[in-house]
Amino acid sequence: MDLYKPLVALLAIVNPIGVVPFFIHFTQSFTKAQRQHTILVSAFTAFVVIAISALAGLKVIEFFGISLASFQVGGGTLLLISSLQMLNAQPAEGRKEDVSEGADKVNAGASIAVVPLTIPLLTGPATISTMVIYAEKTRHWWELGVLVGYGVVVALVTFIVFSASGRIARVLGQTGINIMTRLMGLILAALAVELLADGLTKLFPILASHLAR
């Protein structure tokens, strides 16, 4: 397994910089302590989602009797859809109804650290699919440990980006954030096509023979 690819895919999907405007919007009425607590909970929850997906995701799809090739095609399709959203400068895991729900939670005084900031704006089906697909490619326990370690990396990046959200928004502006989101979307699209091709050749071996010619 190419160990760098899961990290690239994760950073492209999670893309904390693209979520900065939502973080600022949802936490604008928070105190400094409340904002710091939100950052910590969001970062930790992102790690938990990634770690559980890597360690237990395969067991879940086996329980439902789903072949990995089918899951890979489905996951690759989901990543491709997410990348198209990002190319339109929308968060890979977010939807408008999720954002409005988050605003309602803020108005009600509830914590929005887990929903919608972490799930689905930072992590969601595309993230889970990615971790399950790459977990299957591991051959040694330490490779699985590396995938879990990438969850720590993503959590740290999320923590740093959200902590510096005000400065990032001022420096990049909405245009800069949109450009960054589109760039991550382009990278994600390339990875999605690769996963789709791999899954399709497993489902339809005749495709592999034609591609090999």
Confidence of residue 87 (pLDDT cuts 50, 70, 90): confident
Q: What per-residue confidence (pLDDT) applies to 182?
A: 86
pLDDT mean over 98-122: 64
pTM for the full predicted model = 0.75
Dihedral over Cα of 88, 127, 50, 120: its sign:
positive
The DSSP line for 25-36 is HHHTTS-HHHHH
- Look up tokens 């330490």; give the residue: 142
Bond from prior residue into 116 cis (ω within 30 degrees of 0): yes
**Ranges of H-type helices in the chain:** 4-14, 16-27, 32-63, 68-87, 96-107, 125-136, 141-163, 165-203, 205-211
Q: What is the mean pLDDT of the chain?
A: 83
Question: Is it the case that residue 16 has pLDDT exceeding 60?
Answer: yes
Confidence of residue 213 (pLDDT cuts 50, 70, 90): low
